[in-house]
Amino acid sequence: MRMLPAFTSLRHFATNTMRRAVSEFRMTVPWGEMRGQVWGPSNGRPVLCLHGWADNCGTFNTLIPLLPKDWRFVAIDFPGHGLSSHRPDGCFYTFPLYVADVRRVVEALQWKRFSIIGHSMGGNVAGIFSALYPEMVDAVVLLDTYGFLPTQVTDMFKNVRKGINDQIQYDNKTEERKERVYTYEKVKERLKAANPSLSDQSADILLERAVREVEGGFVFTRDFRINLKNIVNNNMEQCLHMMSLVKAPVMILLAKDGLFKTFILPDGYVDMILKSWTDQKATIVDVEGDHHIHLNKPESVASIITDFLQSHSPDKTESESNNNQSSKL
């Protein structure tokens, strides 16, 4: 895939502490285009930022300005989210396809090796990608996610059946799929109802890409199909095997009042996942805050993320690898 003219519409995003130039990322895909935002010099350390389910790349708007200015950050809107095109009619939204989206993006960017910061669902995509392409990832930061989300075997096939039925039912209701128009106050109210952890300012930031203005008000940009049951699940054995394939250093930032306070995994699952990460020498950090801590209070995690990624810079990792090889000779 050739490099596409991805960086247009230069604008500035202001935070309370600083201003950072941010440009719009655009690349063509077979079903339309993928969009996102870019910060930093083209020759800076490449860092890919992956947002959570039903969010968009705006989720990183307050965090990235607090990270090193000489790094190159690309935050994408996954298909069906933000300003990216929806998947074609009849298609499902699954994790393997999100991983393929990431592969398309880094191919277009011509990145051979890079770091990933992933929030929630984006962290799960990061985990799978890092397992499938370990040679491409030099460090991973997981924000309020374990990187893998195992499903009990007994539920896996129920999910497939429900997901297929949901999709077909949705496809058959073409007449009822008219976009609902809301006032700005109403879209904000709906967004915050679905994401109670969002601050008022954070909701405004996400809405920059989550809605578009039409005659009479605003409509949501996301594809309703992202709400349908995911038909591709992995059980614990599969997740632990994928985890063992990840070669990059991993840091897991878990918010004490985050996702897993309300999203409960089956008994014993958390211990098994954390033990596996610990066996792989992952760094696990508990922080005060909620599921959107990186957006609501980025100053509480920015230095932790910077220190981790700096300690696992590509140059440092390559140097350590060469030293290890020399010591074996």
Query: pLDDT for 58-111, tens place per residue?
Result: 999 999 999 999 999 999 999 999 999 999 999 999 999 999 999 999 999 999
Q: What is the pLDDT of residue 11?
A: 37
Q: How many CB atoms lie within 10 A of CB 40?
A: 22
Structure token pair of residue 94: 């699954």
Please check whether residue 23 is in contact with residue 48, taking contact to mean a CB–CB distance below 8 angstroms. Answer: no
Residues 6 or more apart in contact with residue 7 via CB below 8 angstroms: 23, 24, 25, 38
108 domain-assigned: yes
Cα 42 to Cα 19, 207, 210, 315: the distances in Å are 18, 28, 27, 17
Q: What is the pLDDT of residue 313?
A: 85
1 domain-assigned: no
Let me know if 42 is a catalytic residue: no
As a three-state string, the secondary structure of the chain is CCCCCCEEEEEEEECCCCEEEEEEEEEEECCEEEEEEEECCCCCEEEEEECCCCCCHHHHCCCHHHCCCCEEEEEECCCCCCCCCCCCCCCCCCHHHHHHHHHHHHHHHCCCCEEEEEECHHHHHHHHHHHHCHHHEEEEEEECCCCCCCCCHHHHHHHHHHHHHHHHHHHCCHHHCCCCCECHHHHHHHHHHHCCCCCHHHHHHHHHHHEEEECCEEEECCCHHHHCCCCCCCCHHHHHHHHHHCCCCEEEEEEEECHHHHCCCCCCHHHHHHHHHHHCCCEEEEEEEECCHHHHCHHHCHHHHHHHHHHCCHHHHHHHHHHHHHHHC
Q: What is the pLDDT of residue 318?
A: 52
With a cut of 80, say whether residue 235 has pLDDT above it: yes
291 domain-assigned: yes
With a cut of 70, say whether residue 241 has pLDDT above it: yes
Find the mean pLDDT for residues 32-58: 98
21 domain-assigned: yes
CATH of residue 321's domain is: 3.40.50.1820
Average pLDDT of the chain is 90
Domain total for the chain? 1
Q: What is the pLDDT of residue 316?
A: 62
Render pLDDT for 113-154 as a digit per residue (tens, 0 to 9): 999 999 999 999 999 999 999 999 999 999 999 999 999 999
pLDDT > 70: percent of the chain:
90
With a cut of 60, say whether residue 322 has pLDDT above it: no
Q: What is the pLDDT of residue 179?
A: 86
Confidence (pTM): 0.90
Q: Which residue has the higher pLDDT, 134 or 8?
A: 134
Render pLDDT for 284-305 as a digit per residue (tens, 0 to 9): 999 999 999 999 999 999 999 9
| From 84, 120, 197, 276, active-site residue | 120
163 domain-assigned: yes
- 46 is in which domain, residue-wise? 7-328
Render pLDDT for 15-42 as a digit per residue (tens, 0 to 9): 433 457 899 999 999 999 999 999 999 9
Q: What is the pLDDT of residue 174?
A: 79
Q: What is the pLDDT of residue 270?
A: 95
Q: What is the pLDDT of residue 328?
A: 41
2 domain-assigned: no
301 domain-assigned: yes
With a cut of 70, say whether residue 220 has pLDDT above it: yes
Q: What is the largest CA-CA distance in the chain?
A: 72
97 domain-assigned: yes
**Taking Cα atoms as reference points, which of 195, 187, 208, 186 lies closest to residue 61?**
208
Phi/psi at 123 (nearest 5 deg)? -70, -35
